[in-house]
Structure 1
Amino acid sequence: MDLKTLLIDLGNTALKWALLGDERTPQTVVHRDNAAFKDKLYAQWLELAPDRVLGCTVAAPELAFSATKFFNDHDIRWHWIRSQAAFESPGLTLRSAYENPAQLGADRWCAALGAIDAMPGESLLVVQMGTATTVDAVRHMGGNEYVFLGGRIAPGPTMMKKSLEAIPALRGEPTEWEAFPHSTRAAVTTGILDAQAGLVREAYETLLKEAGRVKVVLAGGAARFVEPRLRAQLPDVMLQHNLVLLGLAAQARHQLLKE
């Protein structure tokens, strides 16, 4: 009998979930500043009657605890993924070069696996733009072998804007990028977009020297704001959301093979 697997990506602002097989079209619940969603969400999960849950969480510990209690109360097997020294399956091996592999955020590890699933056979720069921006380098070593080399973390676009809004004169709605901003609003917007794109470009050029060819996989809630500026500077950008769920799906399929 086929097992029904529920995949969960619990982030700082939103929770995404899908059944294995439908991971590219997930459901999304914004949980930040929202306390009224749990009953409806748990009722949906109960109706799905999953046999097991595979999840990734690096934020919202109270919600993670609540969900875990729900699964326990209904005898649903669950596992919150942690980063590994290596992920090895018949079609993919990803090794971590992190000094302490367990210290790497599980979302970054899952996103790396998801990016490989979305664009196999390439050295990749995996960019997630949310509350924080993470830019991680994955080198293709040939065949099905990859190495997670490491990455960069910086404030995301919204966090950058909020930090500047501590100064009243810098408050205002975002506008378009300008080569030579003629207003304070445009100066703030342009500065943020250039900071985000520059972070990615620097990481891209560094990995390019190592790998010879690099593709950029871009994801996250803030990606759509930065994407036009980034595409103006880098040629190989692929917008692919739900990388964490894709990575969870890869791990779930591997576990099914072992059972």
Structure 2
Amino acid sequence: MVLLIDAGNTRIKWALARPGAALGDWLASGAVTHTELNHLPASWPQTGITRALVANVAGPRLRDQLQLMIPTTAIDWFASRAQLDGMHNRYRNPAQLGCDRFAAALGARALEPGRPIIVATCGTATTIDAVSAQGDFLGGMILPGLGLMAAALARNTAQLPQVAARDLPAGFADNTDDAILSGCLAAQAGAIERAFALHGAALCVLSGGAAPFIAPQLAVAHRMVDNIVLTGLQRAANASDFTTG
């Protein structure tokens, strides 16, 4: 079995897959927050995992912790590169691109081949990236995620409250909580729609914890995909030209 891990800024997501299995065909999957990290080993079989592929954007301390927990010594720490699985990385410095963004683009392209797409991952930060129909990763945008936007307003203003993401009634907000959330959602959706128009995209592949709240606000064609980074890691694990990063 292959253990796939997406170690993000807030949560660690994982999946178990057989080598060569179809994308998203996982034997098991789950997620924990950073404070629940010690629960991870109990979620994984301690035998039968022959390889782990990890995208870590949460820093060296978490990498060291995961290294001790993963029940195999065959660990690939996924990194962005100039080319993989037919996708060309056009970042000025390909290695500087966040490995999670590279994996998400790889997964989205595998699900929607031959189409110009926008890949929006809506987590602690929102990343919005463009992939051409020919398979070029062109670059993208990074902005504060939905929760960070709301928290910044609550922290830096005297009388605005902290609000949580939820479904909103249609139309203009008639109370402060809804007005804050409406503004933050509009900013997220507006950035995605601007990128969509700039790229001339056919579809936006949308993922991340805030995606269910942002999706209803979008006026462009979109597809929700859970755990797009794990999907990309699975694609990378099966790619004939993948080597340890």
TM-score range, shorter chain: 0.7 to 0.9
> Which of 168, 175, 180 is residue 172 of structure 2 equivalent to?
180
Is the CA contact (8 Å cut-off) linking 1:178 and 1:190 kept in structure 2? no
Does residue 171 of structure 1 match 2:161? yes
**Offset at residue 254 of structure 1 (A):** 1.7
Letter aligned with residue 6 of structure 1: L
Change (3 A) 1:98 1:80: same
Aligned residue in 2 for 1:245: 230
Is the CA contact (8 Å cut-off) linking 2:14 and 2:29 kept in structure 1? yes
**Offset at residue 36 of structure 1 (A):** 4.3
In the aligned structure 2, how far is the partner of 1:104 from the partner of 1:228?
29
- 5 Å-filtered alignment, 1:51-70, equals 51-59=50-58, 61-70=60-69
Q: Which runs of 5+ in 1 are unaligned?
A: none
Aligned residue in 1 for 2:189: 197
Aligned residue in 1 for 2:114: 121
Aligned residue in 1 for 2:93: 100
Is the CA contact (8 Å cut-off) linking 1:14 and 1:28 kept in structure 2? no
Does residue 6 of structure 1 match 2:8? no
Change (3 A) 1:87 1:22: closer
TM-score of the aligned structures, taking structure 2 as reference length = 0.88
In the aligned structure 2, how far is the partner of 1:15 from the partner of 1:103?
21
Change (3 A) 1:177 1:57: farther
Letter aligned with residue 237 of structure 1: H
In the aligned structure 2, how far is the partner of 1:257 from the partner of 1:97?
18
Aligned residue in 2 for 1:207: 199
Q: How many residues align?
A: 235
| Richer in helix (by share) | 1
CA-based RMSD of the aligned residues comes to: 2.2
> Which of 138, 143, 152 is residue 154 of structure 1 equivalent to?
143
Aligned residue in 1 for 2:32: 30
**Offset at residue 32 of structure 1 (A):** 2.7
Deviations 1:157-215 (A, max 9, x none): 0000111111242105456255322211121011001000000011001001xxxx521
Does residue 217 of structure 1 match 2:214? no
Change (3 A) 1:56 1:252: same
**Offset at residue 33 of structure 1 (A):** 2.9
Larger-gyration structure (1/2):
1
Change (3 A) 1:251 1:36: closer
Question: Counterpart of 1:169 in 2: which secondary structure?
Answer: coil
Aligned residue in 2 for 1:46: 46
Letter aligned with residue 209 of structure 2: G
Is the CA contact (8 Å cut-off) linking 1:126 and 1:216 kept in structure 2? yes
**Offset at residue 29 of structure 1 (A):** 2.6
In the aligned structure 2, how far is the partner of 1:13 from the partner of 1:257?
27
In the aligned structure 2, how far is the partner of 1:28 from the partner of 1:63?
18
Letter aligned with residue 208 of structure 2: G
In the aligned structure 1, how far is the partner of 2:35 from the partner of 2:69?
21
Is the CA contact (8 Å cut-off) linking 1:138 and 1:148 kept in structure 2? yes
In the aligned structure 1, how far is the partner of 2:72 from the partner of 2:154?
47
Deviations 1:98-136 (A, max 9, x none): 000000000000000100121122111000000000000
Q: Which runs of 5+ in 2 are unaligned?
A: none
Is the CA contact (8 Å cut-off) linking 1:137 and 1:150 kept in structure 2? yes
Deviation larger for 115-124 or 199-208: 115-124
Question: Counterpart of 1:59 in 2: which secondary structure?
Answer: coil
Question: Counterpart of 1:238 in 2: which secondary structure?
Answer: strand
